[in-house]
Structure 1
Amino acid sequence: MKIKAIMGLRPKAQDAASIRAAIGEAEAAQAEAKARAAGLEATRAATMLDGEAAQLERAERDLATARADAERAGIMLEALRGRLEAAERAEVLARVRTAAKDAEAASARFLAFMRDEYPKLAQKIAAGMRLETAASEATQAANAAFIALPPADVAQMMEEGVQMPPQPSMTIAPYLFPNFNANVRLPAARGSAWPPTDDCTFEFQGKVNA
């Protein structure tokens, strides 16, 4: 193998994948050179017994070349494996840096939401909860008034098709009964901007802090 061929075993790029590919090529070159040297050793031995001096000299030159090729491929492999270790480490560090930047960006987006959007949403949710409270109180008052009617008036109301409405939360989601407010953890009825104050109730790891 000529020097130029050995130099051709260099990786095409310095990333780990390219270095692994170069290692594969160098391993193949080394195996081929070792196999060639083994065959030439047998040839040299046979030539010593039966061949001419010129044939023996040629066999020894070829054997020396094969051994040199195997040695060069081995040196290239050692260098490539050291380079691969460094490249793999660099790629791991690069992935960690990227992950850290991604996490920082994701956190920044969340904090921007909590700063810019959450206060508005909290107030809207709180307003909706106040609407439910008013509707629930009105429903309770209507049902109480209906129940207090004499039987004759109840019959008249029923003939007129007047029906007492159920609790609002029962209309949209029966499983939320008795009320929607009881299932809201963020924010509580009065609402609040971020950061949390006594005006908000927050749920954290299954525990509610009022």
Structure 2
Amino acid sequence: MDYHQLNLVVTHLGGGITSSLHSHGRIIDMISDDEGAFSPERAGGLPIQKVIGECMNSGTTYKDMMRKVQRQGGLMDHLATTDLREVEHRILEGDEYAKLVYDAMALNVSKDIARLSTVVNGQVDAIILTGGIAYSRPFTAEVTQRVKWIAPVKILAGENEMEALAHGALRVLRGEEEAHTYTFQPLENC
């Protein structure tokens, strides 16, 4: 089928986890790595009042807080590793806390996928799981079990970000797409 005729939920499972809804060739909604499921490195969505309190009461700088939520959150915070294979090994060795955290991450990924499916009234043609974590059959099986009622799940494992960026640049150079400029101005302190 043609990408421009489909509704897809695409979830990238890497150091951060993002999910996006592609409808008829356009990304129309997204759950970024700072608002959805936690991941190996990212804290994911956090209760905002607690975060504000932490910033205000501890004097934490913007840079320190960003490091905590982008590099030292998720699996790293809970299990002191970002390696899902290590977490899976711990589970096989009987580590109940590792299993709890692993299951929570899979559950929250599944909830993000289900949440995005509502944007197109559940009319999703396929769910695509990609990124390095998509190599994990146990993890993708757990997510698939929870979301297969929405649409068929396809696994496209691997980190293809640079290839995707190159293809995007090529489309701009060929005049097939317009270039966009995004600006970001970080805060100095929380």
TM-score (norm 1): 0.20
> Which structure shows the higher strand fraction?
2
TM-score (norm 2): 0.21
> Which structure shows the higher helix fraction?
1
User: Who wins on radius of gyration, i.e. which is larger?
Assistant: 1
Looking at both structures, which has the greater relative contact order when contacts are Cα pairs under 8 Å and sequence separation is at least 6? 2
